[in-house]
Amino acid sequence: MVRIGRRRRAARIAELEAFWLTRRAAGEDVTTFGEELAQLHLDTFLTPLDDTMRSDYEQALDAYERAKARLAESAAASDVTDVTRTLADGRFAHACVLAGRDGTPRPTRREPCFFNPDHGPG
């Protein structure tokens, strides 16, 4: 009986450690995206935004705010996965704004890099 309790406790501790590591990595990802948006904000002062670009910009900002809120509320690994998905939506909107600014075609939606979402699309 004692061994079963210890195993369960050890498994729970390992689960919590994995959650906190994942949450910390997601927090760093949220911070990085916020820095990218701050740079984009500066760029928008120099570039007139059409309606599509403005909508994409607002979607990127909204995704950032949702990701921050969801990260703060996260209590399980599935919550952190939701943060990552929200950031992927924001990064896509960000890429669309940059494409509009640069006069290039809108990007095709692709999933982020499996190993490190900071790398961009996989």
So what's the pLDDT on residue 1?
52
Phi, psi of 112 (to 5 degrees): -70, 165
Give the count of domains, the chain. 1
Residues 6+ apart with CB under 8 A from 101: 43, 47, 53
Q: What is the pLDDT of residues 15-66, one digit of tens each?
A: 888 888 899 999 999 999 999 999 988 877 777 889 999 999 999 999 999 9
The DSSP code for 80 is: H
Q: Are 26 and 80 in contact (CB under 8 A)?
A: yes
- The model's pTM is 0.80
Q: State the CB neighbour count (10 A cutoff) for residue 90.
A: 24
- The helix/strand/coil state of 121 is strand
Q: Which domain holds residue 26?
A: 2-119
29 burial (CB, 10 Å; 0-12 / 13-18 / 19+) is buried
Q: Is the pLDDT of residue 88 over 70?
A: yes
